[in-house]
């Protein structure tokens, strides 16, 4: 039998099981009395052993056999747990991971005999040779379906006599969001605002609640005719806890996404031509194509959406190791693992998070002794959380440590010639100083987070994703870093504005509202022009000046876009608002000297190119 | 104890009508506001169980007021009062945190149904 075609499957599945091993081991370590984790751990290792033996990867099989032996003794209570045993198991699982990776690229590693000897000694027995053992039966499942939030397809029909059915649907969506993660909303939310909305909407809901609880909660919104909860068709295989595989090569999804992007551009162009020509038959076809392309776009974007938990799940292990290395007690919690992000963004978010978590553990949290002196519990806390906010995902790394000393940062920045003009260091300014390449306040270089360099790396990465980085810190209380990224990179809804005869796209995710620039509402704050909007003073930026367009005739009242990221706001004064459009972000090889406020380029519906403004750079 | 209500509308006519409907149903109207700004201030002061909120008001509209109130109290029970044809605004209010809505002209039974849902 040709086994090579199973090699890829072996490695994917083994990686999943190894991840489950780490999770179970962490859980078990934190609660050594629990019997669940050791059972799961045993089954996962056992499954890997069986697969490896079938594939003929003898190193993998031998090592997993030793680990399994030790686990068996622990599981049956013949052996007792201790910190040393846990450490040995962690080392064993790590070695198993390396052996699996090596085996699948054809360079099978000899088994680490010292480790095997330690495992055997701990298990108190000589391991039987694997080859004598029969390959085990069908793999058992390491994960239980009931532990995880379940995904359902929810379809709702709103009573036909109800008023404002779109608004009712919006209420249902809000309620659903309070129960879990909502995705794949159909029709798109903008449709709900139209009077033609027919009262039918559908979405996916990933929730820990039972069907009955979900149904009761949604029905309480009122005016619902029918409500249906179903197992989503595409993922039915998961119901029995079968491991998930990505069966499509990611590259194909990328190609598909790019093509759908082109299609969106062509669709926009077609509908703009259609409305110019005004031929009813053409308009009809064009509208039909619009709907189809929108549906397809939603589908492709969804296929690329992956829960952030996939990136989060490696951090508990990291923090555990950090806490050992640094001699600190750290409690690590995660929230919002079910929030979904575009795969390509997710792939790039891991490293910035790694930096932030390391910084939090190393620089943020104090030693247990310092904490006790400061009147805090000896155990520090780091929280990693994800949340959906407007059209962005905010990922926060929060610690309850010493906080960042603004005075020290300010003094240091002054010495380095990066002295800001003010005496008070706002959060905005602080993050900009911290993100200066090479800026460091760490007095000692530690092996964990180096010279405190990292914030600049994080900032660069996050900006490349079209995201932003914020910091909030309070001396003695702790620090929170917020990474905010768009849900998807490829296609964004944008507000088109005009200045000096050119059009510029502003991603809607950062648009709070549009107002009118009124000379009478202008004031000055620290020599900067600012606009007063409902008692709030917002600094202005004139797009014309920004792009060095000639100052043409200006009327007293001009449209103004209020940009908002977190708490920060800027009023962008433009010549005209053109409208909203889905734009496809074109990859942009930034030539040197490109102004920082340009975040990318796009092709508009009429075929003309336009620059995309980077909201973060304008704030 | 009766539920307390804050009624926000810039028209005295509407405020009176809503207050009457709710008082007759046993609610206690503890305050009225005629602008969004006042609504936010009174909410903080009175902490009512329920707020009825008109969408179009001077000095901060109803939607902005919902956003402000929900900033400090995401569980605030706010019922939007809207006119026909304001669906887009109602959707926006819901996204800002409003819990339900009624559409003018008001039928007392409809208003009370919506109030029950919000307080459930």
User: How does pLDDT run across A286-311, given as a tens digit for each residue?
Assistant: 888 888 888 888 788 778 888 899 88
A104-121 burial: b if 16+ Cβ within 10 Å, else e: beeeeeebbeebbebbee
Measured in angstroms, the CA of B97 and the nearest CA of chain A are apart by 8
pLDDT at A443: 44
Using an 8 Å CB-CB cutoff, list residues of chain B that contact chain A.
59-60, 64, 82, 84-85, 87-88, 90-91, 94-95, 99-101, 103, 113-114, 117, 120
A55-59, A440-444, A552-556: lowest mean pLDDT where? A440-444
Are the Cβ atoms of B90 and A221 closer than 8 angstroms?
Answer: no
Assess whether the region A4-132 and the region A491-618 belong to the same CATH fold: no
Instruction: Please say if the pLDDT value at position B82 is more than 50.
Output: yes
pLDDT, tens only, A339-372: 888 887 888 898 899 989 998 998 899 999 999 9
Instruction: Work out the average pLDDT over A152-164.
Output: 88
Domain covering A491-618 assigned CATH 2.40.50.180 in the classification:
yes
CA distance A331 to A23: 15
Supply the range of the domain harboring residue B87.
Answer: 4-119
Instruction: Please say if the pLDDT value at position A451 is more than 80.
Output: no
For chain A, domain boundaries: 4-132, 148-235, 251-303, 309-486, 491-618
Are the Cβ atoms of A167 and B90 closer than 8 angstroms?
Answer: yes
* Cβ-based contacts of B106 with chain A (< 8 Å): none
Instruction: Work out the average pLDDT over A110-133.
Output: 68
Are the Cβ atoms of A164 and B95 closer than 8 angstroms?
Answer: no
- The domain A4-132 belongs to what CATH superfamily? HPT domain (1.20.120.160)
Give me the residue from B60, B94, B103 closest to A163, CB to CB: B103
CA distance B43 to B52: 11
CA distance A397 to A336: 12
What φ, ψ does residue A103 adopt, rounded to 5°?
-60, -40
Give me the residue from A164, A171, A534 closest to B87, CB to CB: A164
Give me the residue from A164, A192, A195 closest to B101, CB to CB: A164
Enumerate the β-bridge partners of residue A227: A156
Are the Cβ atoms of B99 and A171 closer than 8 angstroms?
Answer: yes
Q: Give the count of domains, chain B.
A: 1
Among chain A residues, CA nearest to B75:
A178
CA distance A406 to A414: 12
Which has more pLDDT, B57 or A595?
A: B57
ipTM over 0.90: no
- Strands B50-54 and B78-82 come out as parallel
Q: How confident is the model at residue A242 (pLDDT cuts 50, 70, 90)?
A: very low
Mention the CATH class of domain A148-235.
alpha beta
Cβ atoms B43, B30 nearer than 8 A:
no
* Cβ-based contacts of A167 with chain B (< 8 Å): 82, 87, 90-91, 94, 101
Which has more pLDDT, A515 or A588?
A: A515
Q: Determine the 3-state secondary structure of A471 from DSSP.
A: strand
Instruction: Please say if the pLDDT value at position A44 is more than 80.
Output: yes
Are the Cβ atoms of A164 and B94 closer than 8 angstroms?
Answer: no
Give me the residue from B60, B87, B100 closest to A534, CB to CB: B60
Dihedral sign of CA atoms A270, A274, A275, A276 in order:
positive
**CATH code of residue B85:** 3.40.50.2300
Quick count: other Cβ atoms within 10 Å of Cβ A593?
5
Q: Please state, rounded to an integer, the average pLDDT across all residues of chain A.
A: 80
Q: Determine the 3-state secondary structure of B55 from DSSP.
A: coil
Percent of chain A with pLDDT over 90: 15
Half-sphere exposure of A56 (CA within 13 A, CB side): 8
Using an 8 Å CB-CB cutoff, list residues of chain A that contact chain B.
163-164, 166-167, 170-171, 174, 189, 192-195, 220-222, 534
For domain A309-486, give the CATH number.
3.30.565.10
* Cβ-based contacts of A221 with chain B (< 8 Å): 100, 117
Q: How confident is the model at residue A131 (pLDDT cuts 50, 70, 90)?
A: very low
- Strands B50-54 and B4-8 come out as parallel
Counting one residue from A and one from B, how many pairs have CB atoms under 8 Å apart? 45
């Amino acid at each position: 039998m040709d086994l090579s075609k199973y090699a890829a499957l072996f490695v994917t599945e083994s990686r999943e099981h190894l991840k489950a091993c780490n999770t179970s081991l962490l859980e078990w370590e934190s609660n050594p009395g629990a019997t669940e984790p050791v059972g799961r751990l045993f089954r996962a290792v056992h499954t890997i052993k069986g697969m490896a033996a079938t594939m003929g990867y003898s190193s993998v099989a031998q090592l997993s056999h030793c680990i399994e032996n030790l686990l068996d003794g622990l599981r049956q209570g013949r052996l007792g747990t201790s910190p040393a045993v846990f450490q040995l198991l962690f080392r064993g699982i790590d070695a198993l991971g390396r052996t699996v990776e090596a085996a699948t690229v054809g360079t099978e590693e000899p088994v680490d005999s010292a480790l095997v000897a330690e495992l055997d000694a701990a298990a108190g027995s000589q391991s039987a040779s694997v080859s004598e053992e029969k390959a085990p039966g069908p793999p058992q499942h390491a994960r239980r379906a009931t532990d995880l939030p379940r995904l359902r397809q929810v379809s709702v029909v709103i009573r036909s006599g109800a008023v404002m059915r779109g608004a009712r649907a919006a209420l249902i969506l809000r309620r659903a969001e309070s129960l879990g993660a909502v995705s794949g909303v159909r029709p798109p939310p903008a449709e709900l605002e139209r009077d033609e909305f027919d009262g039918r909407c559908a979405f996916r809901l990933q929730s820990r609640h039972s069907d009955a609880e979900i149904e009761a909660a949604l029905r309480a919104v009122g005016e619902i005719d029918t409500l249906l909860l179903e197992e989503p068709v595409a993922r039915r295989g998961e119901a029995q806890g079968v491991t998930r595989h990505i069966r499509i090569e990611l590259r194909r999804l990328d190609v598909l996404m790019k093509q759908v992007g082109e299609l969106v551009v062509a669709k926009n162009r077609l509908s703009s031509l259609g409305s110019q020509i005004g031929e009813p038959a053409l308009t009809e076809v064009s509208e039909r194509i619009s709907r189809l392309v929108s549906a397809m776009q939603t589908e492709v974007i969804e296929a690329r959406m992956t829960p952030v938990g996939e990136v989060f799940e490696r951090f508990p292990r990291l923090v555990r190791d950090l806490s050992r290395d640094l001699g600190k007690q750290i409690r690590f919690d995660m929230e919002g693992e079910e929030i979904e992000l575009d795969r390509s963004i997710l792939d790039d978010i891991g490293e910035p998070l790694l930096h932030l978590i390391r910084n939090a553990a190393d620089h943020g949290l104090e030693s247990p002794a310092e904490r006790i002196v400061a009147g805090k519990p000896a155990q520090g806390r780091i929280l990693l959380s994800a949340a959906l906010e407007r059209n962005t995902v905010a990922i926060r790394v929060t610690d309850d440590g010493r906080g960042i000393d603004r005075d020290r940062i300010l003094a240091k920045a002054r010495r380095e010639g990066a002295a800001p003009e003010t005496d008070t260091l706002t959060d905005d300014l602080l993050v900009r100083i911290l993100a200066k390449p090479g800026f460091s306040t760490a007095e000692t270089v530690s092996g964990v987070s180096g010279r405190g360099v990292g914030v600049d790396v994080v900032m660069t990465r996050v900006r490349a994703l079209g995201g932003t980085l914020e910091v909030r810190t309070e001396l003695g209380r702790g620090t929170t870093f917020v990474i905010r990224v768009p849900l998807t990179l490829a296609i964004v809804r944008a507000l088109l504005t005009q200045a000096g005869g050119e059009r510029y796209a502003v991603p809607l995710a950062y648009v709070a509202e549009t107002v009118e620039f009124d000379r009478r509402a202008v004031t000055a704050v620290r020599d900067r022009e600012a606009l007063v909007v409902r008692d709030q003073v917002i600094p202005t930026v004139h797009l014309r000046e920004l792009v060095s367009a000639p100052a043409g005739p200006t009327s007293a009242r001009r449209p103004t876009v209020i940009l908002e990221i977190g708490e920060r706001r800027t009023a962008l004064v433009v010549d005209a608002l053109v409208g909203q459009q889905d734009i496809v972000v074109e990859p942009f090889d930034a030539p040197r000297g490109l102004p920082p406020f340009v975040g990318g380029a796009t092709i508009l519906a009429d075929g003309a190119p336009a620059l995309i403004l980077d909201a973060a750079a304008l704030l | 104890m009766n539920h307390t209500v804050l009624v926000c509308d810039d028209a005295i006519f509407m405020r009176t009508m809503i207050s009457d409907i709710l008082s007759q149903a046993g609610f206690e109207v503890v305050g009225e506001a005629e602008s969004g700004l006042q609504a936010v201030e009174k909410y903080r002061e009175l902490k009512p169980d329920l707020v009825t909120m008109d969408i179009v008001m001077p000095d901060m509209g109803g939607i902005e007021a919902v956003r402000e109130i929900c900033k400090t109290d995401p569980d605030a029970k706010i019922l939007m009062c809207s006119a026909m044809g304001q669906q887009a605004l109602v959707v926006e209010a819901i996204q800002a945190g409003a819990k339900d809505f009624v559409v003018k002209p008001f039928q007392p039974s409809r208003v009370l149904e919506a109030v029950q849902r919000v307080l459930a």
